[in-house]
């Protein structure tokens, strides 16, 4: 399922691939706007995350504030401040994904599989400020009842948005590396020139962070060079 604007023929490529093209890669602002648009689609991960964040905010309001928010203008201002907070969080936390888009010349919103990972990353970034706020509250209130602290920390540790975002970014990196390697191995531009093709594969070794994949690439290069002797 394509979850963003489709770019025909665009696949992830290393920067030294002759067909690498980073034109048209969205800015971080554009990615955040896309994510907020996805949050309006019922059933999407971002829609669920936004609903959860709003519910959490409402649960933490004081009784007086809850009464005040019965008035639409007050409620809308509160929701507006919440949206500003989560938008800022998403902008900061989606920036590394945007950097990878430019590095590999691939708009993740249009990727058949990684687009969903990008959306998951955005949903965690949306929820992160709530977790941060809860952890700050506990740090600033050392006299808070121990049993309540343990309960809240247990829930926060299960959510652990930072760990989930790190895992999402790592998955995106692996996916882009695999796609770029496949593009390199099957490049019609390079296969006609074996020395150039081998040189490109050797360059890929420095780009790939997956240890096993680097080892496999070294083996492939050795076999290609042996066959050409």
The answer as to whether 12 is a domain residue is no
Q: Are residues 66 and 154 in the same domain?
A: yes
Does position 2 have pLDDT exceeding 90, yes or no? Answer: no
| Residues 141-165, mean pLDDT to the nearest whole number | 68
Q: Is residue 180 part of a domain?
A: no
Q: Are residues 66 and 156 in the same domain?
A: yes
pLDDT digits (tens, 9 = 90+) for 112-129: 889 999 999 999 999 888
Cβ atoms of 169 and 148 within 8 Å: the answer is no
Do both 208 and 153 map to the same domain? no
Task: Spell out a b/e string for 23-50, using b for 16 or more CB atoms within 10 Å of the CB, else e.
Answer: eebbebeebbebbbebbeeeebbbeebb
36, 131: one domain: yes
Q: Do 127 and 163 fall within a single domain?
A: yes
Where residue 94 falls (left for φ over 0; alpha for ψ -120 to 50; beta otherwise) is alpha
How far is the first Cα of the chain from the last one, in angstroms, to the nearest whole number? Answer: 45
Q: What is the pLDDT of residues 24-82, one digit of tens each?
A: 999 999 999 999 999 989 888 898 888 888 777 666 655 565 665 557 775 567 667 88
Q: Are 31 and 37 in contact (CB under 8 A)?
A: no
- Structural domain count, the chain: 2
Whole-number Å distance between alpha carbons of 159 and 127:
9
Instruction: Please report whether residue 23 resides in a domain.
Output: no
* Whether residues 162 and 212 fall in one domain: no
| Domain range for 215 | 187-229
Would residue 91 count as lying in a domain? yes
Q: Tens of pLDDT along 10-24? A: 789 999 999 999 999
For residues 191 and 164, membership in a common domain is answered with no
201 and 156 in a single domain? The answer is no
Give residue 218's pLDDT.
93
In this prediction the pTM is 0.81
pLDDT at position 130 = 82
Q: Could you tell me if 112 and 196 lie in one domain?
A: no
Same domain, 86 and 45: yes
DSSP classification of residue 187: -
In angstroms, rounded to a whole number, what is the distance separating the alpha carbons of residues 151 and 147? 6
Instruction: State the Cα–Cα distance between residues 109 and 26, nearest whole angstrom.
Output: 9
Dist. CA 27–CA 23, nearest whole Å: 11
Mean pLDDT of 78-96: 88
What pLDDT sits at residue 102? Answer: 96
Are 159 and 222 within one domain?
no
My answer on whether 90 and 154 are in the same domain is yes
């Amino acid at each position: 399922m394509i979850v963003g604007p489709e770019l025909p023929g665009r696949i992830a490529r290393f920067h030294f691939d002759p067909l690498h093209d980073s034109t048209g890669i969205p800015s971080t602002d554009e990615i955040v706007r896309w994510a907020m648009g996805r949050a309006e689609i019922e059933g999407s991960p971002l829609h669920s995350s936004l609903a959860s964040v709003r519910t959490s905010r409402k649960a933490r309001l004081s009784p007086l504030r809850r009464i005040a928010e019965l008035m639409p203008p007050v409620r809308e201002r509160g929701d507006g401040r919440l949206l500003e907070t989560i938008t800022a969080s998403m902008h900061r936390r989606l920036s590394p994904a945007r950097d990878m888009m430019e590095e590999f010349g691939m708009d993740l919103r249009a990727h058949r599989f990684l687009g969903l990972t990008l959306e998951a990353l955005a949903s965690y970034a949306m929820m992160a400020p709530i977790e941060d706020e809860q952890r700050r509250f506990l740090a600033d209130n050392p006299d808070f009842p121990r049993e309540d602290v343990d309960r809240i920390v247990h829930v926060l540790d299960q959510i652990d948005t930072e760990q989930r975002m790190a895992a999402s970014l790592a998955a995106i990196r692996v996916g882009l590396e695999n796609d770029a390697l496949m593009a390199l191995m099957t490049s019609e531009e390079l296969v006609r020139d074996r020395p150039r093709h081998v040189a490109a594969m050797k360059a890929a070794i420095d780009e790939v962070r997956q240890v096993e994949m680097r080892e496999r690439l070294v083996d492939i290069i050795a076999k290609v060079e042996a066959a050409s002797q």
